[in-house]
């Protein structure tokens, strides 16, 4: 796991930040309503299936983590949307300072942790190859 985070590319780091933000906000506004979560699962199945069809290529199978993300994204979007409805959010952001600061702090803490792991793990394979080519 340490190696994974040490070699994390910026695009995947952004996706992780989305997930951290999602959990930070959802934990603060959680509703145990089965209808909310079952609707989100249903949307994830329908939209995830469509996204997998759109992303599929004849000759190549999609990586299992890509497939997982294609189902996870619609689940997160639909549940997040349902949880924040009517709670004074501006776009995706809470207008109250405390939840906003908790979300930002969670993302910053995650980025800081990844930074520490990257520094302690040493240069990545790509960085080592770049050094050899110079």
Does the pLDDT of residue 123 top 80, yes or no? no
Q: Is 120 exposed, middle or buried (0-12, 13-18, 19+ CB in 10 A)?
A: exposed
Whole-model pTM? 0.81
- Average pLDDT value for residue range 111-123: 88
Residue 73 tokens, joined: 């994204």
Mean pLDDT of the chain: 89
- Average pLDDT value for residue range 113-121: 90
- Average pLDDT value for residue range 107-118: 94
- Average pLDDT value for residue range 92-121: 94
Whole-number pLDDT of residue 131: 57
Whole-number pLDDT of residue 44: 97
- Average pLDDT value for residue range 7-23: 94
- Average pLDDT value for residue range 88-102: 93
Nearest 5°: the CA angle 86, 109, 124 is 125
């Amino acid at each position: 796991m340490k190696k994974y985070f040490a070699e994390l590319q910026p695009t995947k780091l952004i996706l992780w930040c989305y997930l951290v933000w999602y959990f930070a906000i959802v934990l603060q506004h959680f509703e145990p309503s089965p209808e909310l979560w079952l609707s989100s699962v249903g949307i994830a199945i329908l939209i995830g299936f469509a996204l997998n069809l759109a992303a599929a290529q004849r000759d190549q199978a999609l990586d299992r983590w890509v497939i997982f993300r294609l189902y996870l994204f619609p689940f997160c979007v639909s549940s997040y949307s349902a949880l924040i409805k009517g709670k004074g959010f501006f776009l995706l952001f809470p207008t109250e300072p405390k939840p906003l600061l908790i979300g930002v702090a969670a993302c910053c803490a995650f980025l800081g942790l990844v930074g520490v792991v990257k520094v302690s793990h040493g240069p990545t394979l790509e960085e080592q190859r770049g050094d050899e080519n110079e």
